Structure 1
Amino acid sequence: MKHGFFGLVVVAATIAVLGFAGGAAAIELGDMLSIEGDLAAAYQYQSLSRAPDHDNKGRGALVFQPTLRLQLTEKDVIQAGFGFAAGNALNDGHSPFALVPWAADLEGDVKGIGGRDRDYLLTAWYARRLALGAFGDLEVVGGLINAADYLDDNAFANDEFGQFMNEALVNSPTVFLPAFDLGGALQYELGNWHARAVVMDVAGDEEDAGHHFYGAQIGYRLDLGLGEGNYRLAVAGTGKKFDGPDSEADQALLGGVLSFDQELGDTYGVWLRLGHQDNDALIAHRNLYAAGIDIKGGLWGRGEDNIGFGYALLDGGNDDIDRSQVAELYYRWVFNEYSAVSLNFQYQEDEDNDGNKPRGLISGVRFVASF
């Protein structure tokens, strides 16, 4: 890590401590301006078999993501999110698997963002909320946005800082959500229903052609008496800018995902994701089947803690990978409303078209302080 980043961490830790002492979820810097964010550190160690080109080893990463929010009026907001990181943990080729073990934006993700020669500034957007009376509410957003903020959300499997770490259990690869690029979003709410739409101009980089992205989601919130549930369908597509499996050019990506979560009383929750995408373009996985359970700590006298277990099977791609499997278990120990530590265990296994089957256990610990 560079010395400058140590200074950043000291500043971030100071801000976090001041936020804790102030007893507020966000630090108020004035009548209209506030700052909130996450400071996260994780260390992961992989024990591998059948992976001759990779070693058993451990690596860590440190992430600081502050967000500035300017509340211009009750209806108008300007928000900017930043990402600073040191280390890539086991991402960036250190693991033999097709799916990265930590879906956070690490050092390799916050520099040269989106092929636009931009560092550290992740999002910057303006939003206006319109009250439509009996016809619901509409929010219009424009600027540098993250498609995952609007599509494929899930109450129990959508947060790489507080829930699962593996990317297959955070969002579905079948909707290939671009992040931190120019775009606009609409969010409409009417009673228990919501509808969202996202359009983005993705610059691309040397490994990913620039393209337009289009996504939409419809969802319904349902209370069965046992607790709240959310049921969503998201679809996404791109312009014809991708290579196909036989090197033909000008193929589009098109896919979708069903994302469900349901509380079962005060202690348990279950979730499900089912994803599918077209295979005209070259893709690693065509299908996603993922599910899991959440258990709240009230069952053993620690009401703020929780255990999460999830499993994902991905197959049907037309690239080198025939099938991938991920099983992940974590225990999240909550110190207070601002900080928690998680013990995390992942089992991963890939099978490629040549019959190679790398597999391994990735053990990790993750600390997160939020302000």
Structure 2
Amino acid sequence: MRTLSDHGLHDMKDERWNIYVQGTYISQWQPAFAAAYSHLNGTPNSLKNSAANSFTGTVTPTIGVKTWQGGVFYYAPEMIAESPLSNLKGLGGSIQDFELQKTGSESATWYTSRAYFKQTFSLGGVSSDLASAPMQLAGTVTSRRLVISAGRLSVIDIFDKNTYAGDLRHQFFNMAFMANGAYDFAADARGFSQGLAAEWYYDNWAVRAGRFAIPVTPNVLNMDYHIFEHYGDQIEVEHKHRIDKLPGAVKFLVYRNRADTGKFSDATKIFNADPAKNGTTCTTANYSNPNANAPDLCWARTTNTKLGIGINMEQSISDDIGIFMRGMWTDGLTEVYNYSSADDSLSLGAIMKGSRWGREQDSIGLGYAASFLSTSHVAYLNMGGIDGFLGDGAISYKPEQVVDLYYQHHLMKSTWLSVDYQHLTNPGYNSVRGPVDIYGVRVHVEL
């Protein structure tokens, strides 16, 4: 777009349309690690402890078109090819590559990631400029406004955003830093949904609310559009502030899902009462556990609700350093339906720009994240049960933890090269396995 603008063919201050393309390739290597056992009694969801490689590659064109005053339509097809570690099993809230999807393959797959309308109603206040960017037309907005978004998008395009932990094509590699790890936001197996969200901005305050569709069963592509019966709701309140003239923000988020899910305690009770009700005998949607001596969530599925409460904070502490923290509690009673396998989560860290050493577009970041399971979830896993990600056959429970250190180097115009190191302890929340080291390289291009 900048090239067109330089030739007088595009207005970068008041756009009627824009087109951008991103490409990201991530390659990771996991050395062999120690484990007291794997796949106990045939349980299938252990992280393999032999050396392994993983990769993801994505290409995303984004198109924005102004439809009328305040109205914009955004469309983003996306291609992904991937090969995850251990078929994306064995890690809970610390999946090592944020790009990984539950239905991906090594063959390139195209799909629609986003297709939605966004309408902004100006309500007065101070005007400010929006820069041209992917999924954002350049223009002017007021500090008091109402924004309505409807269509297909990711819930975390709107909710739980953080300046220093969220843009993972430039920042951390680990999924624990993309959003609150325990935020089981409505999404298909690729991370997207259909729904409606409203955002009300009043100077330094913002309130957001949204309802989105959930899959017909956990972690699949097919969606349940009975949105008044099964859904994911969220409300977020944000306040922006300045400390010594440095910007910061605090957000509080509450989400509530209503879906046909299995309670961990119900699954264990049903199995204890009748051991014939296990994963090998279940004919409805299940996680294919071959262990006939273990409970299975498929026997416990009925309409349940899930509640989560989270906090999200960011603060600039100098012109080139920012810090962040997220934390979330959920009731932990039911299986994870949409996101990573964590019942509670915590993440924190810092990012420094390279301007301090004369590399304005470089950055370095250090983050720590911990994920936790509920008592009933641990008991279910200890009996050999599995969920969408976890299940070693038994468990010596400790929180799953990861330290993620990266450096991003600006190679040339629109191209960045990043190196990354992750140290994971208690993979799958199991203290007799690991620790695990993962080394990664990322190439990111923006056009």
Structure 1 length-normalised TM: 0.84
Q: Which moved more, 1:311-320 or 1:236-245?
A: 311-320
Q: Which residue of 2 aligns with 1:297?
A: 354
Structure 2 contact 400–429 (Cα < 8 Å) conserved: no
- 130-139 or 200-209, larger mean C-alpha shift: 200-209
Map residues 1-371 of structure 1 onto 2, 5 A cutoff: 32-51=16-35, 53-90=48-85, 92-93=87-88, 96-98=90-92, 99-104=94-99, 108-109=103-104, 120-133=111-124, 136-179=144-187, 180-205=192-217, 207=219, 210=224, 211-246=230-265, 247=267, 248-249=300-301, 250-283=303-336, 284-317=341-374, 318-319=377-378, 320=381, 322=397, 323-336=399-412, 338-350=414-426, 356-371=432-447
Question: CA contact under 8 A between 1:28 and 1:35: conserved in structure 2?
Answer: no
Distance in 1 of aligned mates of 2:144 and 2:210: 19
* Structure with higher strand content: 1
Structure 1 position 278, deviation (Å): 0.7
Larger Rg: 2
Q: Give the whole-Å Cα distance in 2 for the aligned partners of 1:330 and 1:122.
A: 27
Structure 2: segments with no counterpart, 5+ residues: 39-47, 126-142, 225-229, 268-299, 382-389, 391-396
C-alpha contact 2:310 2:329 (8 A) present in aligned 1: yes
| One-letter amino acid of the structure 2 residue matched with residue 227 of structure 1 | L
Give 2:393's aligned residue.
Answer: none
Q: Which amino acid aligns with 2:81?
A: A
Task: For 1:37 and 1:106, locate their aligned partners in 2 and report how far apart those are by CA, in whole Å.
Answer: 20
Could you tell me how far 1:256 is from its partner in structure 2? 2.0
User: Residues 106 and 64 from structure 1, CA distance in 2 versus in 1: closer, same or farther, beyond 3 angstroms?
Assistant: farther
Q: Return the offset for 1:152.
A: 0.7
Is the 2:165–2:171 contact (alpha carbons within 8 Å) kept by the matching residues of 1? yes
Say if 1:91 and 1:220 are closer, same or farther in 2 by CA, change over 3 A: farther
Cα distance change of structure 1 residues 262 and 36 upon mapping to structure 2, 3 Å threshold: same
CA displacement at 1:370 relative to structure 2 = 1.2
> Normalising to structure 2: TM-score of the pair?
0.70
Amino acid at match of 2:307: L
**What letter corresponds to residue 161 of structure 1 in structure 2?**
R
> Which deviations, in whole Å up to 9, do the C-alpha atoms of 1:121-142 show, x marking residues without a partner?
1111111111123592001111
Q: CA deviation at 1:265?
A: 1.2
Q: Give structure 1 stretches of 5+ with no counterpart.
A: 1-18, 112-117
Tell me by how many angstroms 1:313 deviates.
1.2
Q: Could you list the per-position Cα deviations for residues 162-211 of structure 1 after superposition, in whole angstroms to 9, with x for gaps in the alignment? A: 11111111111222123422200111111011111110122334656943
Paired residues of 2:264 and 2:333 also in contact (CA < 8 A)? yes
Q: How far apart, in 2, do the equivalents of 1:153 and 1:353 lie? A: 26
CA distance, structure 2, for counterparts of residue 67 and residue 88 of structure 1? 25
How far apart, in 1, do the equivalents of 2:87 and 2:62 lie? 25
Comparing 325-334 with 289-298, greater Cα deviation is found at 289-298
Q: Residues 131 and 298 (structure 1 numbering): CA distance in 2 closer, same or farther, change over 3 Å? A: same
Output one character per residue of 1:212-252: Cα deviation in whole Å (capped at 9) or x when no partner: 01011110111112511011111111114211003233322
* Aligned-residue CA RMSD (Å): 2.9
Residues 1:300 and 1:225: Cα distance change in structure 2 (over 3 Å): same
Contact 1:88–1:107 (CA<8 Å) still a contact in 2?
Answer: no
Q: Is the 8 A contact 2:34 2:49 kept in 1?
A: no
Given that residues 288 and 315 in structure 1 are in contact (C-alpha distance below 8 angstroms), is that contact kept between their aligned partners in structure 2? yes
Task: Considering Cα pairs closer than 8 Å and 6+ residues apart, tell me whether 1 or 2 has the greater RCO.
Answer: 2
2:264 is paired with a residue whose SS is coil
